[in-house]
């Protein structure tokens, strides 16, 4: 049997009042005396200062580092250079997507444990070894080794009371990222059948479970608040762990993710504002389901129910860019075989598929 190495988060503290469990978990976990907290400048900083730090008093010393939302390689490098000799034992990120990414990257470069404290449920980066596509590409451009070492969190603290206060749009985006696992796993199975790619039944089942949890509970998600936060947290953590088990984002990312990454790339080329990751992946899942020949209406309907975008207009992106994104999606990650095949989808076929699924008019 082939050796498999899995790096899975060791502590997951999820639910209401999760933050209050910190003193005990930190004492038990013995992860060190000195921590670096990475957070944003406004709302997330207040959460760090008023909620997280008081719960760590007396257990560990922390130093706070505020970063802006627009992450670049040079910002990350500056923070790393500043903190690398300060002997931090661990890094905690308190914030949304880019704050989580920053902590994950810097802790990996420092080779110390990472603790993820998400303040929103917008995607599964809170619990996985993955970071934003554009940021990973930028790190790779500067230093491929530095892109390779990025690891999963050791600990995830998902406080439903905190996450419940995130804007509803981020809930709908998280739903989109999770519903996309239906097509991601179909792509993985296809790659196993056509390319004999390694396939983990266990990781696939876990990823699918995340999609099923949000699908089944979509009415609760629509209501927002603590109940919605709890459902999404469960799904996001499951999906993140499925990636840890597989050792790649394979179980959680197929053609619909490539489509979203392609939109992100085009947004730089043509200088437009992309939508949120989960929003783009949700729309990608509609057209991917269509190409797989499964019931795409079911995905479209579920997205509509949670008030997530289902077409170009609702994404706020021109049809022209959506078509181009779909035709170039197969070029984004050469080794990721999906329903788009090696040659991708022709322009005519892309337009037809996007029209058939009501993504463009």
Chain contacts with Zn ion (rule: CB under 5 A): 123, 177
Q: Which residues contact 2 (CB under 8 A, 6 or more apart)?
A: 198
Nearer to Zn ion, 123 or 218 (CB): 123
Smallest distance, Zn ion to C-beta of residue 130, A: 7
Q: Whose Cβ is closer to Zn ion: residue 35's or residue 174's?
A: 174
Residue whose pair of structure tokens reads 């596509």 in the numeric block: 133
Q: Which is nearest to 97 in space by CA: 75, 69, 76, 72? A: 69
- The DSSP symbol for 55 reads G
The pairing of strands 155-159 and 114-118 is parallel
- Helices 168-179/225-246 angle, 10° precision: 40
**Minimum CB distance to Zn ion smaller for 52 or for 156:** 156
Q: CB of 348: closest distance to Zn ion in angstroms?
A: 29
Residue facing Zn ion at closest CB distance? 177
Q: Residue 262, by phi and psi: left (phi above 0), alpha (psi -120 to 50) or beta?
A: alpha
Residues 6+ apart with CB under 8 A from 145: none
Q: CB–CB of 154/114 below 8 Å?
A: yes
Q: Extract the tokens encoding 9.
A: 């988060």
Distance of alpha carbon 58 from its chain centroid, rounded?
33
**For residue 191, how many other CB atoms are within 10 A of its CB?**
20
Gap between the Cα atoms of 361 and 71, Å rounded? 35
Nearer to Zn ion by Cβ, of 113 and 240: the residue is 240
Residue 128 CB, nearest approach to Zn ion (Å): 9
Q: Least Å distance between CB 17 and Zn ion? A: 28
CA atoms within 13 A on the CB side of 155: 24
d(CA 79, CA 91): 12
**Per-residue DSSP letters for 180-200?**
THHHHHHHHHHHHHHH-----
Using the minimum distance from each CB to Zn ion, give the nearer residue, 115 or 184. Answer: 184
**CA neighbor of 99 nearest in space, from 75, 82, 83:** 75
Q: Which of residues 35 and 118 has its CB atom nearest to Zn ion in the complex?
A: 118
Q: How far is the CB of 309 from Zn ion (least distance, A)?
A: 15
> Structure tokens of 240?
């993140």
Residue closer to Zn ion (CB basis): 83 or 131 = 131
CA-based nearest residue to 259, from 188, 340, 150, 194: 340
Q: The tokens 């799904």 sit on which residue?
A: 235
Q: How far is the CB of 333 from Zn ion (least distance, A)?
A: 13
CB of 181 to Zn ion, least distance (A): 9
As measured in angstroms, the least distance from the Cβ of 63 to Zn ion is 31
| Shortest Å distance, C-beta 98 to Zn ion | 15
By C-beta, is 284 or 344 nearer to Zn ion?
Answer: 284
| Comparison of 79 and 308: residue with beta carbon closer to Zn ion | 308
């Amino acid at each position: 049997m082939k050796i498999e190495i899995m790096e899975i988060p060791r502590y997951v503290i999820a639910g209401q009042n999760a933050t209050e469990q910190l003193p005990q978990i930190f004492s038990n976990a013995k992860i060190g005396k000195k921590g670096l907290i990475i957070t944003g400048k406004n709302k997330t900083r207040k959460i760090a200062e008023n909620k997280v730090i008081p719960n760590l008093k007396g257990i560990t010393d922390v130093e706070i580092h505020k970063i802006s939302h627009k992450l670049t390689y040079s910002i990350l490098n500056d923070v790393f250079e500043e903190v690398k000799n300060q002997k931090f034992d661990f890094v905690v990120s308190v914030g949304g997507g880019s704050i989580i990414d920053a902590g994950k990257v810097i802790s990996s470069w420092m080779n110390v444990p990472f603790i993820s404290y998400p303040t929103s449920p917008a995607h599964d980066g809170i619990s996985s070894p993955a970071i934003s596509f554009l940021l990973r590409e930028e790190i790779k451009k500067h230093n491929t080794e530095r892109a390779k070492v990025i690891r999963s969190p050791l600990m995830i603290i998902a406080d439903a009371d905190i996450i419940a206060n995130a804007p509803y749009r981020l809930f709908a985006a998280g739903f989109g990222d999770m519903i996309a696992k239906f097509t991601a796993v179909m792509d993985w199975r296809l790659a196993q059948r056509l390319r004999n790619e390694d396939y983990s039944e266990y990781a696939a089942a876990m990823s699918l479970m995340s999609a099923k949890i949000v699908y089944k509970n979509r009415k609760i998600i629509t209501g927002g608040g603590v109940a919605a936060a709890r459902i999404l947290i469960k799904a996001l953590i499951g999906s993140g762990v499925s990636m840890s088990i597989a050792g790649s984002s394979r179980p959680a990312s197929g053609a619909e993710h490539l489509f979203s990454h392609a939109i992100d790339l085009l947004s730089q080329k043509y200088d437009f504002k992309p939508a949120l990751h989960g929003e783009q992946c949700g729309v990608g899942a509609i057209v991917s389901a269509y190409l797989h020949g499964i019931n795409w209406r079911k995905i479209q309907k579920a997205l509509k129910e949670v008030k997530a975008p289902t077409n170009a207009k609702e994404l706020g992106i021109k049809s022209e860019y959506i078509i181009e994104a779909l035709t170039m999606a197969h070029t984004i990650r050469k080794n990721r075989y999906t329903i788009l095949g090696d040659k991708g989808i022709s322009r005519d076929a892309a337009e037809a598929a996007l029209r058939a699924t009501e993504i463009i008019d």
